[in-house]
Structure 1
Amino acid sequence: MSSGSTMRRVSLRNIAAHKVRLFLTVLAVVLGTAFVSGSMMFTNALSSTFDEAISSSLDGVDVVVSPGENIDGIPVETVEEIRARDDVANLNIDASQSIVLATEDAKAIQTGSGTSSLGIFYDPAEAVGMPYQLGEGELPEGTEEVLINDSAVEEYGIGIGDTLLVVDSGGRYTVTITGTTTLEEEAASMGGIRLAMSEEAYTERYLDGETVPTVIISATEGTDPQALVDALSTDLGPDYQIETGEALVEEITGVIRDALSFVQYFLVAFGLIALLVGTFIIANTFSMIVAQRMREFALLRALGVSRPQLTTSVVFEAIVVGLFGSALGVLGGMGLVAAISAVLNNLGMPMGSSLGLTPAAVITALVLGTIVTVISAWAPARRAGQVKPVEAMRAIESTTVRSMAGRTITGGIILVLGIILAIAGAALEDSSTTTRAIMVGFGALFVIVGTFFFSPALSIPVVGGLGRILGAPFGAVGRLASTNSRRNPRRTATTAFALTLGIALVTAIGMLSATMKEAVSDLMEEQVSADYVLTGPSGGSITLPREAAGDVAALDSVSEVSTVGANLVDIDGQSSFVGGPQSMSFTADGNIGELIVAEGVEGTLDLTESGFIASKPFAESAGWELGGTYPLNAAGQPIGEVELVGVYDENMVLGNFMVSEASFADTPLEGRTIPQLILANVAEGVDPEQARADIEDAVAEYIVVKVQSSTEYAGETVQIINTMMNILYALLALAVIVAIIGIINTLALNVIERRQEIGMLRAVGTGRGQVRTMITLESVQIAIYGALVGMLIGLGLGWAFVTVMSGEGLDAPATVPWGQLALMLLGAAVVGVIAALWPAHKAAKTPPLEAIAD
């Protein structure tokens, strides 16, 4: 019997003999590992899709020439010089413009998840990279004739000869479709509409006539791409960024992988949360299984099995369950990726055929799932090894309050320490945000760990009280359910704790969401006095048409109008924010002070003339003084000087500083501002609704301009926050689902353990319906207890994090989402009922005589 192989056979037969136990334990492992492996596989598949698209789009491109940091574009003369070189076969301008399309009667063409763009068509003999072929029709001539991709013809019902309205940041104009373009099947599967015109027409319509953004080159036969790069670098000098197409592919795919790694970490984090919740479930399951098998372990000990052998056998069972569950989790992850890919394909966002299955995704899931399962089973395995043959023959539950004294005291100390850390992190306003966030983070960890240890003692009065309240309408059955829930506080607390973790996270995020929405509403109410806000497409594919502001300003029903935008400019080396490789700063025109509410204003906020305004803290840090004149730079080169005409207290809408649009007159940046929004006030004595109608009529021809009141604009921002938070809630739902399975798991094993007791109740006249009610009430009590504790933890930690974030611009008091809390409490009760369905049904079917005889 001392043989290790014999004990392994016993363990394997035990696992096979208790299929329900196996299924319930494995399920918790599967859910956690499926999400971890699925997250890794999804980002791998996404990366592979992007890699393929980039590689195919740059296939045949030998060299790419782009402007460096010190120049805005490649001069047309330089482009022609490159084109005339003996070692250059073909040169194409690499440029594309995001647009919105509409029919002749100004009805926008909806492309769903696809995009609309306008680029340059090159004859295949002159094309560099992936060439478009002319399908049907004729080549376009001039700025009002274009080709359209053939897939759009079929999808959107647009044909040769049709006239379309094109809306871009410069305004709108009409074009006629003269023909179609075709691509290879793989590339053509991308959704959306792609128009193309000749190089000459595109240059006239969208470029300044002096420079182009980027050129792609194919080398002549026999010329090495790297040799061409070296030759061009020598001839053109250091102002240009010149690299091979292959190097650019590696560079872009590297950037995409880095960007997608965040997505992977984000998703894996939620998978680990689910796995953490599953840890408590697995530990609870093994604890119950070990408790139910005490007689079996005692018999093995009596037959000569040593303590280490018993412990090892339980750990071996955990390894088998962990490996099996993790392997199923990998398959589940593949299923998740396949499902997501199918959905994205149907939405016009093809993912390719790759499922992203890599050794790393498989090994990580297998190792994580197995380690978590073994750790969860370690304490129960040690208890199994400590069984004494004679004592274990008695099936007595000995859990008492006194036996939990050490655990309760330890938990209380850790819990208090966590609360102190969290409060200190929130209260130390003079410390850095990072330091405060770390303190709150450690406080959160200690609170969660402390709650886990302290929860059994807390559950005795709380669950007992809940049991009496919930069980009151059910008489003796309700009182019995209350007694049963209190009888094993360790089990009750551990079962509830899985739900506690999930609810705590949901509550904390709910508080953050509510506070952010409140902050946005307060911000718009307190800092935006404009009657109407005009914005462009929500997707950001194109900006506001520049002429729209002039049309609005010309209305008699409107007084002040200002366009807020951004331009590639800095003042004395300082910029409002970094946009891509170059610095960008906010711009405005008109008297912005009439449209934005700012406190502590000194000087003026009127940006009608040349000048700029800045917040007092930023001006002080930059060394700027009111009335001082400072250099205005574009791409690192001076283009003029501007005066600081006004300063104000910190203001979220105005930002660090704003430059007047008039400052760019007669400079290379004139007309280069990217409009973000237009603010407008209603003229005195004019009905606001009439003014709105006038504004809507004035911008109707631009199709893409949306007119909203400041309240409506704030509501749209709140909706964006809701969308972001809903994604988080959807991911956290995984942890809650795992917690629900934990309750089902515990109840099912509890029913097996209490088979004799339930049989006795049935024998003395308890009906099946009453047994079902008893088990359901126990489940509801556990679920509500877990939810209440989770809400308290979530509210506390949510308050601490929101308070810390107030130093990062979230200037609003922590808001409690009472409605959400009420729904979660109701949801917890429903969860309890649902979780009890199968265990209650199983308990009700217990045969009285057989159960008593067991």
Structure 2
Amino acid sequence: MAKNSTLRKVSLRNIAAHKLRLALTVLAVVLGTAFISGAFMFTNSLDATFKSAVSSAYDGVDAVVTPGKGEPGLSAQLRKDLAADEKVGAVNIRASQSIVLANDKEEPFQVGGGTASLGIWHEPGDVVGAAHELVEGEAPTAANEIALNKKGAEHFGVSVGDKLLLVDPQDRHDVVVSGIFDSSLDNRNSLTASMPEDAFLERYTLDGATNQLILSAAEGTSDTQLVSHLQDSYEGIQVKSGDELAEDLTKVMSQALSFVNYFLIAFGLVALLVGTFLIANTFSMIVAQRTKEFALLRALGAARRQITRSVVFEACIVGLIGSALGVLAGIGLVAAIKAVMGARGLELPDSGLGLSLSAVLVPIVLGTVVTIISAWIPARRAGEVKPVEAMRSSESSTDQPLGVRSIIGVVLMLIGAAAAIAGALLGDAETKTRAVLVGVGAVGAILGFFFAAPALSLPIVPTFGRIIGLPFGAVGKLASTNSRRNPRRTAATAFALTLGVALVTAIGMLGDTMKASISDVVENNTNADFVLSGPTNSNFPTPAGTPDAVRDVAGVDSVLTMSTAPVLIDGEASQVMGPHAQTMVIDGDVSRMVELSITEGTADLGSTPGALVMTEFAEKHGWSVGDTLELTAPAVGAQPREIEVVGLFEPTTLIQNMVISESRIEGMLPPGAQAVTMVGVNGDGTVSDEELRSNLEEAVKGFIVVQVMSTEEMAGQAGEAINMMLNILYALLALAVIIAVLGIVNTLTLGVIERRQEIGMLRAVGSQRRQIRTMITLEAVQIAVFGAVMGILLGLGLGWAFLEVLKDEGLDTISVPWVQLAWMLAGSAVIGVVAAIWPAARAAKTPPLDAISE
């Protein structure tokens, strides 16, 4: 018999002779690898952009000074001492304040994904690092003058001499644009304003104290010498070189970007997982159709291993071609993303396409390995073909028993269901343990369904077929009969759609439950008639002047202000996020804004100044009503004060751990340190809700950024944010659905090739082309509906189990998006119709006499 090289030639010629098979199989590999390759390249691009930004920000900076541990800030006196130091060339303050800019008609400039900030203008001769080049007008010299970035000014139509409204968290200011400057990192979707240093310090700092200084070294002094000198000569500060800080920031950004990379790669792997079943299904069908070919090769002396290796070799070629095309598609994907971002003003300068060795090799190796693994079982089956098979007149695959496979599937599904139910119902176990159990259950249920699906499809798919085909008479009956003929193929084709729909269903349940829980929390725990807050799509707080602006509005009974401040009670805060600790503050009776269950003391922090503490938090720290505790503000170095615990309350979602009276921190913090989160307004009943809303909107119109919302609208707005997050997930999961559609197209197309004689016979006995098209389309719809129904059932079960685990995290109102599920079911039928268009047209064109003659 010929050597392996001969069989390789046969494999290569077979691939070249069946370009349609090759294209359909390659597509599944391309989609998965394109996503993985694109993920690597996109994060490389982001990484390059951020590294360039960090490098530019600290280029020419020899030393960076920040407060030492426990120090409140860098004083004005320290700044003077540093400026007078003979080893220091120049000292700049690095500070920024979030703002909103509006035109003289009080119409805010919508920066979208960009930012609006206010910093300090430094004259070119005094700048540490890269200087901003003034390209038009003059530098700002007064508190009511600002310089604006060139691209932002051009994009928003701002010119030198224009009068603008500048809103910060404390107040609003009328300003004039004195000049336009250019910088290396300019962005047209962002507005970067600068004002004189003395005006900035007076408005936004307490006694001129700041948090960061950047220094250049005097002539003859290196950056390392300057850093050592500062560390030895000054107390209460931390000093790093500009290069060292840039390196640290780059590491932090790279770690943050790695999450994006893992997230995108996860969806690429899901796509490859779904593609695995498509590839395996395709190779199974190809092996079945080539039974006579393999039998002839066996009759000519080819060994089983040679036949198996030849099919694996074909899979390797398909994997390499698909993966290489996937890398090219990934490059196109990144280029398209960057083009879209650029069109929206979010350019990524100095980023390139993000090509790297890992972005090319990992997808190629992964795609090839996945393809080979997918084709391994069909390749083994090809090697088992006996020479006598060459004498058969048909190439159709023979039925194989489903008993062992079905038993394995049922056992795995039962184990998976038991694990998921145990994770959901073991309320006393740790959340992590329960989540792991549900995860194990999900894997078991999905694998079990894959093994048991052929047996399940035997009674279910024909039933669907009879219902769907009822209006089509004999053609519908024939289509439902055809679906029983190869349950393995039907189940394998439907599984890709099942997996995608199951993920969408589970995520849809999570999103619907989150929205329902938030709605319950907001509507059932908020007592205020209206809530006033700042922009919900940024970190800009509610302007501090908002409460005073609405106190005397017609129809208003009471106004309460909820804010956060960097203060601690006995070293504890309401919220702690990394190094940042904030305590909730209110200026009146908490129960007028939030529904509270007071167990002891009072909730009125207006008439009884002090601290209102959650019972569990108080018990944990040994606090009781009447205790006097120490109130400190370590971040700003204010003098400690005393505060009394005046009440205890049962846990509630809207207030975490504790809230204190605003009167207890007056004069303790610098401007801007206390951030207003929301303002609650209650009506006195003298005007209607619509009129009260109108009055409030008119009163806060000048603040530009303040929104007036009812509790229902607050819940709806939170729901919109959840919808945005879900839409991103759905868009990524759509990849799995696209692969599922390709799977149906693939199966139907290869089935048409396999059933050429049968279709020719139907045409010969009088079946019309449209009837053949209808039959193939109905078969596709049956497969798609079966996959969708099974996916919905799996998704509902797994979604319920995961949500039961998350009940303790506040998601205690499990909600099912029935409308979305109904649309998915209807959509699956549409998917079947779309997937059948080409295979059905191909089948309808089968020449009757040619097919029969074969």
Do 2:88 and 2:215's aligned partners in 1 also have CA atoms closer than 8 Å? Answer: yes
How many Å separate the matches in 2 of 1:204 and 1:665?
A: 19
The within-5 A match list for 1:42-53 is 42-53=42-53
Give, in whole Å, the separation in 1 of the partners of 2:760 and 2:271: 36
Deviations 1:15-60 (A, max 9, x none): 1111000000000000011011111111111111111111112111
Q: Any idea what the Cα deviations from partners look like across 1:709-737, whole Å, max 9, x if unmatched?
A: 11111111111011111111111001110
Measure how far apart 1:662 and its partner are. 1.8
> Are 1:357 and 2:349 an aligned pair?
no
Is the 8 Å Cα contact of residues 330 and 365 (structure 1) preserved in structure 2? Answer: yes
Are 2:337 and 1:340 equivalent residues in the alignment?
Answer: yes
Deviation at 1:392, TM superposition (A): 5.3
Give the counterpart letter for 2:49 in structure 1. Answer: T
Residue 562 (structure 2) pairs with residue 564 (structure 1) = yes
Give the whole-Å Cα distance in 2 for the aligned partners of 1:600 and 1:146: 50
Deviations along 1:749-768, whole A, 9 cap, x unmatched?
Answer: 11111111111111111111
Q: Say yes or no: does 1:225 pair with 2:239.
A: no
The reply to whether residue 769 of structure 1 matches residue 770 of structure 2 is yes
Q: Which residue of 2 aligns with 1:271?
A: 268
Q: Is the 8 A contact 2:62 2:216 kept in 1?
A: yes
Deviates more, 1:454-463 or 1:648-657: 648-657
CA distance in 2, matches of 1:580, 1:232: 28
Deviations 1:331-366 (A, max 9, x none): 111110000000001111111341111111111101
Query: What CA deviation, in whole Å up to 9, does each residue of 1:106-158 have, x standing for no partner?
Result: 22223333322221111111101110122232232221122222333322222
Q: How many residues align?
A: 849
Distance 2:760 2:396 in 1: 18
- Of 27-36 and 355-364, deviating more is 355-364
Could you tell me which residue of structure 2 aligns to residue 260 of structure 1? 257
What are the equivalent positions in structure 2 for 1:673-688 lying under 5 Å apart? Answer: 673-688=674-689
Find out whether 1:504 has 2:502 as its counterpart: yes
Q: What aligned pairs does 1:193-232 form with structure 2 within 5 A after superposition?
A: 193-232=191-230
CA shift for structure 1 position 669: 6.1
* Structure 1, 756-765 or 112-121: larger mean CA deviation: 112-121
Query: Is residue 2:248 matched to residue 1:248?
Result: no
Q: Where do residues 778-789 of structure 1 align in structure 2 (5 Å cutoff)?
A: 778-789=779-790
Q: Secondary structure at the residue paired with 2:158?
A: coil
Match of 2:793 in 1: 792
Tell me if 1:743 matches 2:744.
yes
Query: What secondary structure is seen at the aligned counterpart in 2 of 1:165?
Result: strand
Of residues 192-201 and 428-437 in structure 1, the stretch that sits farther from structure 2 once superposed is 192-201
SS at match of 2:272: helix
In the TM superposition, residue 191 of structure 1 has moved relative to its aligned partner by: 3.1
2:574 matched residue in structure 1: 576
CA distance, structure 1, for counterparts of residue 8 and residue 630 of structure 2: 79
Give the C-alpha shift of residue 399 in structure 1: 5.3
Equivalent of residue 465 in structure 2, options 442, 464, 467: 467
Partner of 1:176: 176
The farther-off stretch of 434-443 and 547-556 is: 547-556
SS at match of 1:221: coil
CA contact (8 A) 1:560 1:595 kept: no
* Partner residue in 2 for 1:707: 708
Q: Secondary structure at the match of 2:401?
A: helix
Partner residue, 1:643: 644
Distance in 2 between residues matched to 1:557 and 1:147, nearest whole Å: 42
Which is further off, 729-738 or 55-64? 55-64
Give distance in 1, aligned partners of 2:279 and 2:470: 33
CA contact (8 A) 2:152 2:187 kept: no
User: What amino acid sits opposite 2:438 in the alignment?
Assistant: V
What stretches of structure 1 of length at least 5 have no aligned partner?
A: none
Match of 1:535 in 2: 533
**Cross-structure match for 1:655:** 656
Corresponding residue number in structure 2 for 1:808:
809
In 2 relative to 1, CA 405–501 (structure 1 residues): closer, same or farther, beyond 3 Å?
A: same
CA distance in 1, matches of 2:224, 2:566: 32
Please say if residues 119 and 195 of structure 2, whose CA atoms lie closer than 8 Å, have aligned partners that are also in contact. Answer: yes
Structure 2 CA distance for aligned equivalents of residues 477 and 112 of structure 1:
55
The CA distance in 2 between the partners of 1:603 and 1:540, in whole Å, is 37
Deviation at 1:172? 0.3
- 1:55-106 per-residue CA deviation (whole Å, 9 max, x = no partner) reads 1121111111111331221010001101111111111110121111112232
Displacement of 1:2 = 3.8
Contact 2:58 2:246 in 1 (8 A): yes
Aligned position for 1:455: 453
Partner of 2:36: 36
CA contact (8 A) 2:567 2:631 kept: yes
Q: Which amino acid is the alignment partner of residue 346 of structure 1? A: A
Is 2:823 the counterpart of 1:826? no
TM-aligned CA deviation for residue 487 of structure 1: 0.7
CA contact (8 A) 1:560 1:590 kept: no
Kindly report which structure 2 residues correspond to 1:681-700, keeping only aligned pairs within 5 A, or say none.
Answer: 681-700=682-701
SS at the partner of 1:486?
coil
Q: Percent identity?
A: 52
Match of 2:623 in 1: 624
Per the TM alignment, residue 579 of structure 1 is displaced from its structure 2 partner at its CA by: 4.0
Secondary structure of 1:118's partner?
A: strand
Q: Secondary structure at the residue paired with 1:390?
A: helix
Equivalent residues of 1:567, 1:669 under 8 A apart: no
Task: Measure the CA separation in 2 of the matches of 1:470 and 1:181.
Answer: 67
Q: Which whole-Å CA distance do the structure 1 matches of 2:727 and 2:745 have between them?
A: 26
Query: What is the CA-CA distance between 1:585 and the residue it aligns to?
Result: 1.9
The aligned residue for residue 614 of structure 2 is 615
- Greater shift in the superposed pair: 140-149 or 659-668: 659-668
Conserved 8 A contact 2:289-2:396: no
Distance 1:123 1:189 in 2: 22
* Alpha-carbon displacement from aligned partner over 1:773-818 (angstroms, at most 9, x marks no partner): 0000000000000000000000000011111101112121x21111
Q: Give the SS at the match of 2:345.
A: coil
Say yes or no: does 1:79 pair with 2:76: no
Q: Secondary structure at the match of 2:483?
A: helix
DSSP-derived class of the 2:700 partner? helix
Q: Which amino acid aligns with 2:557?
A: S
Contact 2:465 2:480 in 1 (8 A): yes
Aligned amino acid, residue 758 of structure 1: I
Matches within 5 A, 1:93-492: 93-183=93-183, 186-237=184-235, 239-352=236-349, 353-391=351-389, 393-394=391-392, 395=394, 400=399, 403-492=401-490
Query: If the length of structure 2 is used for normalisation, what is the TM-score?
Result: 0.97
Q: Following the alignment from structure 1 to structure 2, what is the Cα–Cα distance between the partners of residues 36 and 503?
A: 21
Asked whether the equivalents of residues 634 and 669 of structure 1 are also in contact (C-alpha less than 8 Å), the reply is no
Task: Please tell me whether the aligned partners of residues 632 and 641 of structure 1 are also in contact (alpha carbons under 8 angstroms).
Answer: yes
Q: 2-side partners of 1:54 and 1:65: how far apart?
A: 17
551, 561, 564: which one aligns with 1:553: 551
TM-score (normalised: structure 1): 0.97
> Residue 556 of structure 1: CA displacement?
5.1
Q: Relative to structure 1, is the Cα distance of residues 808 and 541 closer, same or farther in structure 2, using a 3 angstrom cutoff?
A: closer
8 A Cα contact 1:45 1:356, kept in partner: yes
1:705: how far off?
0.7
Root-mean-square deviation (CA, aligned residues, Å) is: 1.6
Cα 1:476–1:447, aligned 2, differ >3 Å: closer, same or farther? same
* Contact 1:143–1:204 (CA under 8 A) maintained in structure 2: no
Shift of 1:555: 3.3
- Is 2:32–2:268's contact at 8 Å kept on the other side of the alignment? yes
**CA distance in structure 2 between the aligned counterparts of 1:804 and 1:408, rounded to whole angstroms:** 30
- 1:212 alignment partner AA: T
Contact map agreement 2:479 2:778 (CA 8 A) in 1:
yes
8 Å Cα contact 1:67/1:214 also seen in 2 = yes
Contact 1:505 1:794 in 2 (8 A): yes
Q: Post-superposition shift, 1:180?
A: 2.0
Give the letter for the 1:629 counterpart.
Answer: T
8 A Cα contact 1:219 1:225, kept in partner? yes
Q: Structure 1's 669 and 136: CA in aligned 2 closer, same or farther, altered over 3 A? A: closer
